[in-house]
Structure 1
């Protein structure tokens, strides 16, 4: 169903959409499936669910989506963290690779900190190790979700991420992550760029 965003409040994470038949639907940040933030006046496509709008995407035909070159490093990282639980949408190549770089930097920092902690002892050191482990786990989930969305963007199933479990399978998977966005709408939504 098509509609227009009437407004969105960043503090509460909730907004309202008016469909083409003048019926209002509310939506929250978790229903928003696009990398760009919702703004008043945007044309969207969504699935009605009672009085709620679910799986809200920008309308590609309205030409409102930004090209991949416009996404900065910071915006890509923020988009990945904002969409941590989104295993259904699509993500741009730039978003995936920026988060991959961010993950490598964080893993290096975690390794340095953990290496220094091996020579120390105490309760605070143990707590810091737990915090580092939880942060690493959080980054892993974010990385998994952006990898699945990236595969969806090239019209592949997210199950291909299981290739990461094999040594030799990582190479073709990384090559697939370099493919350009499939320009057609698929079962995971509109093109990411």
Structure 2
């Protein structure tokens, strides 16, 4: 699946915490977030404006971040569903060892067959 298709599918399913998301969906959306937030930071850093402009930009970035955060959480839950794990496993990211274990699951290839969360998203 292409970068644009994966990001588009993540935004279409922005509030869906059910079903499965492929590795390409998750990692392309992750890359999209990095690119967007870096571009916003570069633009904000290059502006030579008054403090009120920076405050307005910070508010816009915060609103955008909340929207992206919800979408990112949903695609993370669906990605864990693809490896047959509950979305609640995202909470292990708050522990030192848990981050590595979660990263393993996010990188791992999904179940090739249907699982309790639905059909294979790449099929």
Normalising by structure 2, report the TM-score: 0.86
Partner of 1:97: 27
Q: Which has the higher strand share?
A: 1
The unaligned stretches of length 5 or more in structure 1 are: 1-70
> TM-score by structure 1 length?
0.57
Question: Is structure 2 residue 98 aligned with structure 1 residue 145?
Answer: no
Report how many aligned residue pairs link the two structures: 122
Aligned residue for 2:88?
Answer: 159
Is the contact made by 2:111 and 2:120 (CA closer than 8 Å) also made in structure 1? yes
Structure 2: distance between partners of 1:180 and 1:169:
19
| Larger helix percent | 2
Bigger relative contact order, structure 1 or 2 (CA pairs below 8 A, ≥6 apart): 2
Distance 1:109 1:166, change over 3 A: farther
**Structure 2 residues without counterparts, runs of 5 or longer:** none
Q: 2:12 aligned to 71, 82, 86, which one?
A: 82
- Let me know the Cα RMSD of the aligned residues: 2.0
- Rg bigger for which structure? 1
- Match for residue 50 of structure 1? none
Over 3 Å counting, the alpha-carbon distance change for 1:97 and 1:165 in structure 2 is same
The CA distance in 1 between the partners of 2:39 and 2:96, in whole Å, is 24
